[in-house]
Structure 1
Amino acid sequence: MKIFTNILVFLAIALIIFNVTQLDYRNPFKGDSIVAFIGIASAFCAVMILLIFRVSKRIEEKTNEK
């Protein structure tokens, strides 16, 4: 499960980097830039959810040991 979450985190970070390259810094809220902002925000949320999931699995493993 750890490898799977690592792959998903890597893909989400790659999407963030890709969307940063799509931004038009002169008109940040027009055209494809708004789509890039949405992509950055959604990928960031995905990373946060995956990290929370990883921490919860670690907590679950420690509580099952006792």
Structure 2
Amino acid sequence: MKYIIFTIIFLAVVFIGISISVLDIQAPFEGDSGNGLIVILASFCVICLMGILLISRSISKKANS
């Protein structure tokens, strides 16, 4: 399960990198730039959620020991 979580985090980072390359600084909320901002925000949310999942799994393992 740990490897799946790290794979999801890696894919989120890749999506952030791709979306940054699509951004237009002059018009960040128009066309593909708007979609890029949404993908970047969603990817950061995924990274935060996977971090919370990793922490909660480690706490659960310590509590059950």
**Structure 1 length-normalised TM:** 0.95
* Residue 40 of structure 1: how far off its partner (Å): 0.2
After superposing on structure 2, the runs of 4+ consecutive aligned residues of structure 1 that deviate more than 6 Å are none
Consecutive unaligned residues of structure 2, counting only runs of 5 or more, are none
Identify unmatched segments of 5+ residues in structure 1: none
The two structures, once aligned, show a CA RMSD in angstroms of 0.5
Aligned equivalents of 1:12 and 1:31: distance in 2?
21
The count of aligned residue pairs is 65
Q: Distance in 1 between the 2:2 and 2:14 partners?
A: 18
Map 1:40-55 to 2 at 5 A.
40-55=40-55
Percent identity between the two aligned chains: 34
